[in-house]
Structure formats: structure tokens, C-alpha cells
Amino acid sequence: MSDISNNIPQGTSLAVLGVFVCVVALLLFKSATMRTQIKRGLIFLLIIAGILVGYFFLTGKSPAEIPARIDQFFNTPRAPEDGTHRYYNDPEERYKDQL
């Protein structure tokens, strides 16, 4: 990310940021429905951020490790299963004491 910011001139990045802020401000002041939708979106993002911070404090692990842990869980090798299932048992073996 630092390589990208080093290649873009300082004035250009500030101009792009200024245009973006102006467009967002225009949308906020112009439309009441846009204001309510942005408020809902911010509340949703705050809830998600709270859950992620809570996960970090409870487990001590970064939430960015969750996909890798899920992948590791599903890709762990299992113990080999028996290749043979004995559905038929010979009656002589099964009842040898009783015959």
C-alpha cells in the first residue's frame, strides 16, 4: 500500500479525497433517505466492528485468521476408515460354540 501512495503525487490523492468527501456530503444533505441508509450502514458496521473486537479480546487471536482456521479444520486428514464392512458373517464362525 505504501508503494501505491508513493507513486501517486500528494496533490492528486488529496484532490481525489476531497472530491469523494464532497460527493458524500452532497448525498447526505440532499436526500433524507440516503441519510437514513448511511446511518443504518454505519450502525451495522459498528456492530460488526464490536463483534470483531470482542472476538479479539476473548480469544487473543486476530479475526483475520478465522478463514484460515476454517480451512485448516476442513482439510485435516482423518483417520483411515476400515476398508471392509462385514455385513455377512459365516454362520459357522458366528455359532461355532453352539453348533
pLDDT at 90: 78
Integer Cα distance of 23 and 21 in angstroms: 6
The verdict on 13 and 36 lying in the same domain is no
Pull the grid cell for residue 89.
Answer: 458373517
Q: Is residue 15 part of a domain?
A: yes
The model's pTM is 0.47
Number of domains in the chain: 2
pLDDT at 84: 65
**At residue 54, does pLDDT exceed 70?**
yes
pLDDT tens by residue, 30-50: 777 877 888 888 899 899 999
- Which CA distances in Å does 88 have to 11, 23, 69, 81, 94? 81, 76, 42, 19, 10
Q: Is residue 20 part of a domain?
A: yes
Q: Is residue 94 part of a domain?
A: no
- Show the domain range for 48: 32-74
pLDDT at 34: 76
The verdict on 22 and 53 lying in the same domain is no
Q: How confident is the model at residue 18 (pLDDT cuts 50, 70, 90)?
A: confident
Integer Cα distance of 12 and 4 in angstroms: 12
The verdict on 59 and 47 lying in the same domain is yes
Rounded to 5 degrees, what are φ and ψ at 85? -110, 120
The verdict on 36 and 68 lying in the same domain is yes
